[in-house]
Structure 1
Amino acid sequence: MSLSLDKLRLLRRQAGDATPAPIDGRVAANGEPLAEGGDASVAADRASVHPGQPDGSLPAAANDAHARKPAPASVFAWVEQEIRHKPTGEAAPVPAAKAPAPALRKPDVGGLHRLLGLRGRAAPAATAAKPRANAQDRHIPGEEIAPGLFLIESFLPQPIPTGALSLAFARREGEQVQPQDLMFFDTETTGLAGGTGTRAFMIGAADWHAHPGQGDGLRIRQLLMTTMAAETAMLREFAGWLQPSTVFSSYNGRCYDAPLLKTRYRLARQRCPITPLDHVDLLFPTRRRYRGTWENCRLATIERQLLQIVREDDLPGSEAPAAWLNYLRGGSAVNLRRVADHNHQDVVTLSLLMLRLVAEEQRERETLALQGG
């Protein structure tokens, strides 16, 4: 696009340039107009545009448009010079002022994390360098007897009760049970609501057993599944512990634990071994005997007040579901081991409570017999 002097003057007036227009279209190096007919001014004009030539003649590289740089202070004066000296009559494009390079700023990693919703999480590099707390504590006690199923065994040496135990304390007059036929059991479940959505992730059982190497005592066995798929193997293993002569003993197990296990057997399409077996629930005779004596008849209260057992670092049963689910999601096994300890103490307490109820009933009957005599 060509630009005439008339158009340039119009642009200068619109832009408010105070530099007066040159008389004959020539300007000096400082942007001042040259007087008409001044030969020396022409040389000075050319020298200002092409410095280094004594007479102001064009250097050899003058034909190269990139070799010439504007010297005048006024952009409009420089354009006028280009119009005068450019052979083609076209004005060279006015070079745009270079913007200063922005200073390099450190990226805001925290702001990016907040934008992505990662608040509270460590950066990927920091996460790789520093593992999560308790991430390595995934130890489950016992032996893995099937994929995801662990068997925890312990043995408490003690004398096995001699003779059959009377069930008169449970209002079953004339009925007796052999000590080695009793199985004290308790479950830890994923919730207390029951129904098909609730499952037992741990089954604890204790029975009096004559061990070949350790002698007589109370044998405690616990089944713990660490995956959902291990439930079938757990139910099958528990069924193998039962005999036709087995008598269950629990604390509210007749209303909760036993029905829950029966449901799980049906859903697993396995024969239910619990239904045909006898069951002595210790909750109801305990309530009849000690209701009103203490604030409640929870098992923890009974063992503390009646049996003088004080648990240390016990995890409440209400926190057991959260401990197991946290482990399934990759969390620590610390609380899961505490659940196993809680379950272990429950079945041991059941054996002690059974003996205490039998002894109390027998003592009362002997007392009444003496009074009647």
Structure 2
Amino acid sequence: MSVNLEKLQRLRRQAGHSSSVSPSAPLAPAHDPLPALRRLLGIRERSHPAAPARARDRALPGEEIAPGLLQLEQILPFDGIWPHVDGAFARTGALPTQGMLFFDTETTGLSGGTGTRAFMVGASDFVPGGLRVRQLLITHLAAEPAMLRTFAGWLAEDTRLVSYNGRCYDAPLLATRYRLARQGTPLAGIEHLDLLFPTRRRYRGVWENCRLATIERRALGIVREDDLPGSEAPGAWLQYLRGGDAGLLRRVLQHNFQDVVTLAHLLLHLAQPASGGTDMQPPFARGTP
């Protein structure tokens, strides 16, 4: 212990000598003597364990039907399904509900073109017992061909596609992805009813716009809760691909789910006679993916 005291005294004398240096001399870099003193006295540094990293939420619903491809499916109770509906709103005759496939995509952008891809496809159709809702989600880029093949398997000879602006956007985009994947174009020749156009004919100038969210609220009485805007869907998917949390992507699934449920209700709504912009609201079935 006396040896350590002598060393401490020597350090103090050196510290006092350095303090007498002329003010005009350059100052030495600041130095903390405490670590050296602890080492001289044999005092060990107390280590503090690093805080554990927050576990990331990567959970997504659905069944993996191919590597990187998730499928979700459920049947919702749905009242008021008729074998045919009045097609006067679409300037056609009676429309059979059997074979109607309501569909919507979530994509990496709104500009279209070969650089834009669909990372999610949702569809609904009338089946015994209600409205069947199916969704496909790819969790890495290599799963896109499997998603396209699966969606093609949902199409039959009597399929009639029903969408909201899908004839101008969703269908051409999917056709491009099928060509790039060298799978042909299964959408070619399939009848396509785009509900955007009859909705505009009925409600343009009645309400502020004819966006689907506006029509839902005004005509169907549907108010979405905690809905993620479609413009944020690409960022949510890319965040997940880069290893981020899945919370926002689950909200994209919910947004897409509601879109294809709303399309079925909108069809029945438009098939009813107009009554001054306040048509009778059809029953609404709500569910979660």
TM above 0.5: yes
Give how far 1:170 is off: 1.2
SS in 2 for 1:194: coil
Q: Which residue of 1 aligns with 2:86?
A: 166
Task: State which of 230, 236, 240 in structure 2 corresponds to 1:317.
Answer: 230
Deviation of 1:160 after TM superposition, in Å, equals 5.8
Determine if contact 2:121/2:137 at 8 Å carries over to the other structure: yes
1:284 aligns to 2:206 (yes or no):
no
Alignment of 1:254-333 (within 5 A): 254-333=167-246
Residue type matched to 1:338 in 2?
R
Distance in 2 (alpha carbons) for counterparts of 1:144 and 1:337: 15
User: Is residue 160–residue 179 contact of structure 1 (8 Å, CA) maintained in 2?
Assistant: no
AA in 2 matched with 1:327: Y
Partner of 1:206 in structure 2? 124
Q: Which amino acid aligns with 1:131?
A: A
Q: Which has the larger radius of gyration?
A: 1
> In the alignment, what sits opposite 1:180?
98
Structure 1 293/227 Cα, relative in aligned 2: closer, same or farther at 3 Å?
same
Percent of matched pairs sharing the same residue = 64
Residue 60 (structure 2) aligns with: 140
Structure 2: how far apart are the matches of 1:103 and 1:321? 51
TM-score (norm 2): 0.77
Separation in 1, partners of 2:90, 2:82: 20
CA root-mean-square deviation? 1.7
- Mean Cα displacement is larger for which, 150-159 or 303-312? 150-159
Alignment equivalent of 2:52, drawn from 113, 126, 130: 130
Matches of 1:151 and 1:204, distance apart in 2: 10
Unaligned runs of 5+ in 2: 1-30, 36-48, 277-289
Q: Structure 1, unaligned stretches of length 5 or more? A: 1-101, 107-124, 211-215, 365-373
Cα distance, 1:103 vs. partner? 6.0
C-alpha deviation, 1:105, in angstroms: 7.2
Corresponding residue for residue 38 of structure 1? none
Shift in alpha-carbon separation, 1:181–1:327, aligned structure 2, 3 A: same
2-side partners of 1:160 and 1:291: how far apart? 27
Q: Distance in 2 between matches of 1:162 and 1:288?
A: 24
May I ask how many residue pairs the two structures share in their alignment? 233
1:338 aligns with 2:260: no
Residues 103 and 305 of structure 1, relative CA distance in 2, 3 Å threshold = closer
Aligned partners of 1:186 and 1:103: how far apart in 2? 65
Residue-by-residue CA offset, 1:56-102 (whole Å, 9 max, x unaligned): xxxxxxxxxxxxxxxxxxxxxxxxxxxxxxxxxxxxxxxxxxxxxx7
